[in-house]
Amino acid sequence: MKIACYCQHVLGIGHFHRSLAICEALAERHETVMILGGPDVNLPESAVHFLQLPGLKMDAEFSELLPCAEGADLKQVKENRRKQLFDFFTSFQPDIFLIELYPFGRKAFRFELDPILDDIGSRTLPPCLRLCSLRDILVEKTDKHKFEARVLQKLNSSFDGLLIHSDPDFIPLQNTFGSMDSITIPYRYTGFIAPTMTRQKAGSMLRQDLGLSAEDKLVVASIGGGNVGAELLYATAQAALLLEQKTNTIHIHLFTGIYSAPGLQEGLKAVPASNITVHSFCSNFPDWLEAADISISMAGYNTCMNLLAAGIPALLYPFAQNREQRMRISAFSRTSDFMLLESEDLEPRHLAEKITAQLRFNKKTSQAQLNGAMLSCKLISDPKLWSQKTR
């Protein structure tokens, strides 16, 4: 089969990496094209093919679209994207069209998605199965009833199925979408999208490369793509100064992310602590978590799945703009050694105490379903599952 997967990231890189994991699983069995249209990302060597639309991103207030290319005209960029997308569907003629998040999010991109969905429905474009790929938690909306009514209208009329990348024993979609009973198309839970657990040897080798003994403690601190969360890394660096006065066995590695502010790395390197090392980005980040004794990070979807796969204790600082990350921390704290960090916990002495406390815990195997990429591939590859309305 031929599969097209649309993924539009606008702030971080979590949406991209989650969709990429699904596409890589699909590409083992099917010709798979991933359609991208956000800020530049490092594309891996992969069996997945990539179609890059002219880049668009959201402004700092998340209120309007902006071209990624400086000086580009927004109206022209939109028109170019619409044409490129239509031409792609005309020539590629996929059997399955997988759309990440829309219509539960990415409303700003309906200018290009609705015409494609409508043309598939009217047979202006060749017919194909239209599936929505959705994460575990939806952000809150000002008018929830209006939002859910709009989602249902588009979902039930223009899609053939819904994949929910969650484990309902931990985070059921109805926690943040109250109209589940009104969904008339088939939907399936896939489990969470997490890295395949074949990295224990890689983690051990990384510790060996770093010269760490069994008594040494490796702390990995990160902020995803780096657009937000710099205060967490600064606080960790200051806490490292205090920890250095008490022990020489704690080694802290800080990852700033590919989208971080230009001065962040320099600011962290200026902290006079010999127990910290500053990195920008690495392609083997799950190996670092496998090697680590604890993690300090925010609580995005991909970060939490990486932590659960590695089984390590974590200090988690939620993104303050919405409820998503705080809810995720709460859901997993019941069975994993995850500790919530509030803003006041970033005071260096408090944070140093919490780091010390978390280092007392050992790794544990998560009870959550983490094989979501492979199960998504299996579900997507079986068109019969999506052939009938549920009600």
Domain map of the chain by residue range?
2-194+371-385, 200-359
- Angle, CA of 273, 285 and 350, to the nearest 5°: 40
CATH number of 2-194+371-385: 3.40.50.2000
- Give the helix, strand, coil percentages of the chain, each rounded to 5: 40, 15, 45
Cite the beta strand spans of 8-107 per DSSP E: 31-36, 49-52, 56-58, 65-67, 96-100
376 within 8 A of 25, measured Cβ to Cβ: yes
pLDDT of residue 64: 86
55 within 8 A of 39, measured Cβ to Cβ: yes
pLDDT of residue 199: 54
pLDDT of residue 384: 86
Closest CA to 112 of 137, 139, 87, 95: 87
Amino acid at 316: L
H-type alpha helices, 93-222: 110-121, 144-158, 200-209
Phi, psi of 353 (to 5 degrees): -65, -40
pLDDT of residue 10: 78
**Cα–Cα dist 216/214, whole Å:** 6
Low-confidence residues of the chain, pLDDT below 50? Answer: none
pLDDT of residue 390: 57
pLDDT of residue 281: 84
Superfamily the domain 200-359 falls into: Glycogen Phosphorylase B; (3.40.50.2000)
Per-residue pLDDT of 15-62, as tens digits, reads: 898 999 999 999 999 999 999 998 888 888 889 999 999 999 887 677
The SS3 of residue 384 is helix
- Tell me whether domains 2-194+371-385 and 200-359 share a fold: yes
